[in-house]
């Protein structure tokens, strides 16, 4: 068994940020989360202790969903040796070894840590690397090939500064000896701190063999102390991710314009265009094509699906052979079945879209269960009458929803039903029937549009013709003048105006309704709504 201690107490002054250094993001997550992800892949970990100091409460809160870690407070921060002293009470004494990792060295990989553990044997081990420019790093001192000490940059002689093998800060120590060694540390150095690296000399004194291992890739042991270093490491990591994808057969149009901020799994013959960002857990099945500048987060794209440019997909499932975009947005719990088409400026949320259904233009579908073969016209929205309760909308197989239609949940559209364009549906629409909900179209003869800055034009003295209604014409929402006309409509007979009585008004309205129904029957025989 093994303890893991992550040193994360530093302030990071060179970051020039209120955010603690270990919480600065790399590959879409705080650096310390990257380290903890590596720890989660290690076998036989007994306890994981995170040493916090600067803004400790902020770091604790950021890691509050990690239930398998403990915290140790280092206050004040007196060096790496002092940090490990603070962690001692939280360690499992039965664990044979204690692994020390650094919260600002985020990209060390599990296989590298495993190699370090294997070379330690019954002694201890240090992860080292060779740098062209080792400035700032502690130098590894060897005698006859064996490690005998580590000297920090500020304490090194000119000859020691020429050594290119450096300490990464990552080491494996025997738990039983920690307490004794740490109690002997002295702060007699240029920094006035307790260096964990001084343990090396104590181990040599006690006859403990010190072995070493090196990472396969140099970026694994690069530390971050500034935003410049953080940006550089981000670029290195993204290049590495793109290289892994292309080696696995994925077509990445421009590897320098790809961002993976989580876990991306790709099948065969996947193509990813420029500027795409993948966050969280994303799966792209065989034959998937992702167009340029898409953002895909925690989503599953099934075989043969095509995602066109500038789409945002978050927490959604896209079925095989489906086509999405361009400029489409799929929000959490949007599930598209096979061969679904979702076009430009369409937003879908918490909805199930049946096989082969089409939502091609300018629509919002939320909290909806949609059958197969449904055609949704442009400008359609599903909505709730009170804006609070998320009632469901149900649309049966092969329904046709005309353009500019609103479906006010809870409501059901029956199988094979047709909703005429411009319908506001507040009641269930029966299967196989045409349903309309529109006011009759009217033309107001002689009406003059007001002109800015001019007095209204006087009404003509000639008798006005009655309002004309064409029963065969498509109906539409009433225009603004209609309300005024309905409130005080007059008929002219023999040069005199006579107000329409309530009884006459009702009779007129009945006639208009009969004409509308006749028009609807004509339309139902051959629907023309788009």
List the beta bridge partners of residue 396: none
User: Within the chain, what is the greatest distance between any pair of CA atoms?
Assistant: 125
User: Does the active-site annotation cover 490?
Assistant: no
Q: What is the pLDDT of residue 515?
A: 66
Hey, how many other C-beta atoms are within 10 angstroms of the C-beta on 242?
Answer: 20
Query: What is the rounded distance in angstroms from the CA atom of residue 436 to the CA atom of residue 520?
Result: 8
> What tokens does 479 get?
């225009």
DSSP string, 393-405: EEE-TT-EE-SS-
Q: What is the mean pLDDT of the chain?
A: 89
Q: What are phi and psi of 222, to 5 degrees?
A: -80, 125
Q: What DSSP designation does 320 have?
A: T
191 vs 78, 79, 183, 188, 451, CA distance in Å? 9, 9, 18, 8, 82
Q: What is the pLDDT of residue 497?
A: 43
Q: What is the pLDDT of residue 493?
A: 41
Query: What is the rounded distance in angstroms from the CA atom of residue 216 to the CA atom of residue 415?
Result: 61
Query: What is the rounded distance in angstroms from the CA atom of residue 530 to the CA atom of residue 528?
Result: 6
Identify the structural domains of the chain with CATH numbers, from first to last: 2-221 (3.90.550.10), 250-435 (2.160.10.10), 441-455+463-483+502-522 (no CATH)
Nearest alpha carbon to residue 66 among 4, 109, 11: 4
How does residue 385 score in pLDDT terms, banded at 50, 70 and 90? confident
Report which listed range, 90-99, 377-386, 515-524, is most confident: 90-99
Helix/strand/coil for 521: helix
Tell me which residue has tokens 């909806």: 368
pTM: 0.80
Which of 27-31, 128-132, 510-514 has the weakest average pLDDT?
510-514
Q: What is the pLDDT of residue 390?
A: 86
Specify the DSSP element, H or E, that contains 126: strand 124-130
Helix/strand/coil for 285: coil
Q: Measured in whole angstroms, how far is the alpha carbon of residue 246 from the centre of its chain? A: 23
Query: What is the rounded distance in angstroms from the CA atom of residue 529 to the CA atom of residue 378?
Result: 11
Whether 486 shows a pLDDT value over 90: the answer reads no
Calculated CA dihedral for residues 250, 251, 255, 260, nearest 10 degrees: -40
Q: What DSSP designation does 327 have?
A: S
Q: Is the dihedral of CA 358, 364, 370, 375 positive or negative?
A: negative
HEC string of 421-438 equals CCCEECCCECCCCEECCC
> What tokens does 458 get?
């006087």
How does residue 104 score in pLDDT terms, banded at 50, 70 and 90? very high
Nearest alpha carbon to residue 10 among 226, 181, 158: 226
* % residues pLDDT > 70 (the chain): 85
pLDDT tens column, 140-184: 999 989 999 999 888 999 999 999 999 999 999 999 999 999 999
The residue from 16, 82, 341, 361 that is catalytic is 361
Query: What is the rounded distance in angstroms from the CA atom of residue 424 to the CA atom of residue 231?
Result: 52
Query: What is the rounded distance in angstroms from the CA atom of residue 21 to the CA atom of residue 227?
Result: 10
C-alpha neighbours within 13 Å on the C-beta side of residue 461 = 0
Q: What is the pLDDT of residue 396?
A: 98
* % residues pLDDT > 90 (the chain): 78
Which of 222-231, 271-280, 496-505 has the weakest average pLDDT?
496-505
How does residue 51 score in pLDDT terms, banded at 50, 70 and 90? very high
Cα Rg, the chain, nearest whole Å: 36
Q: What is the pLDDT of residue 483?
A: 41
Helix/strand/coil for 31: helix
């Amino acid at each position: 068994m093994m303890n893991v201690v992550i040193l994360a107490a530093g302030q990071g002054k060179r970051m020039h940020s209120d955010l603690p250094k270990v919480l600065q993001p790399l590959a879409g997550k705080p650096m310390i989360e990257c380290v903890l992800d590596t720890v989660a892949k290690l076998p036989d970990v007994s306890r994981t202790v995170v040493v916090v100091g600067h803004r400790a409460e902020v770091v604790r809160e950021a890691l509050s969903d990690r239930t398998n870690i403990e915290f140790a407070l280092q206050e004040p921060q007196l060096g790496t040796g002092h940090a490990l002293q603070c962690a001692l009470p939280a360690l499992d004494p039965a664990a044979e070894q204690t692994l020390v990792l650094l919260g600002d060295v985020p990209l060390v990989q599990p296989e590298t840590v495993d190699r370090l553990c294997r070379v330690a044997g019954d002694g201890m081990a240090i992860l080292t690397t060779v740098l062209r420019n080792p400035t700032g790093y502690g130098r590894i001192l060897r005698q006859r090939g064996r490690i005998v000490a580590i000297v920090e940059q500020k304490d090194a002689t000119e000859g020691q500064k020429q050594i290119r093998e450096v300490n990464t800060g990552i080491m494996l120590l025997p738990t039983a000896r920690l307490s004794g060694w740490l109690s002997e540390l002295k702060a007699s150095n240029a920094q006035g701190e307790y260096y964990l690296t001084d343990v090396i000399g104590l181990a040599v004194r006690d006859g403990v063999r010190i072995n070493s291992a090196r990472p396969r890739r140099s970026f694994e042991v690069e530390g971050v102390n500034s935003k410049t270093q953080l940006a550089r490491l981000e670029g290195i990591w993204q290049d590495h991710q793109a290289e892994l994808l292309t080696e696995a057969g994925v077509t990445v149009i421009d590897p320098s314009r790809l961002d993976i901020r989580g876990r991306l799994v790709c099948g065969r013959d996947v193509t990813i265009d420029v500027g795409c960002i993948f966050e969280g857990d994303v799966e792209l099945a065989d034959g998937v094509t992702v167009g340029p500048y898409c953002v895909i987060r925690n989503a599953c794209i099934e075989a043969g699906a095509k995602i066109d440019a500038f789409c945002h997909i978050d927490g959604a499932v896209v079925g095989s052979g489906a086509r999405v975009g361009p400029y489409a947005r799929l929000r959490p719990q949007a599930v598209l079945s096979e061969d679904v088409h979702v076009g430009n400026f369409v937003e879908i949320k918490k909805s199930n879209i049946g096989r082969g259904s089409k939502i091609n233009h300018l629509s919002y579908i939320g909290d909806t269960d949609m059958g197969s073969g449904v055609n949704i016209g442009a400008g359609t929205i599903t909505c709730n009458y009170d804006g609070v309760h998320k009632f469901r909308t149900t649309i049966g197989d092969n329904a046709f929803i005309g353009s500019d239609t609103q479906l006010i949940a809870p409501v059901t559209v029956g199988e094979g039903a047709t909703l005429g364009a411009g319908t506001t549906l507040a009641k269930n629409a029966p299967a196989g029937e045409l349903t309309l909900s529109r006011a009759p179209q009217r033309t107001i003869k002689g009406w003059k549009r007001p002109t800015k800055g001019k007095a209204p034009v006087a009404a003509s003295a000639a008798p006005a013709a009655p309002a004309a209604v064409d029963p065969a014409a498509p109906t539409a929402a009433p225009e603004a003048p209609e309300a005024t006309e309905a409130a005080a409509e007059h008929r002219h007979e023999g040069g005199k105006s006579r107000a329409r009585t309530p009884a006459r008004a009702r009779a007129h309205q009945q006639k208009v309704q009969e004409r509308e129904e006749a028009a609807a029957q004509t339309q139902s025989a051959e629907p023309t709504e788009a």
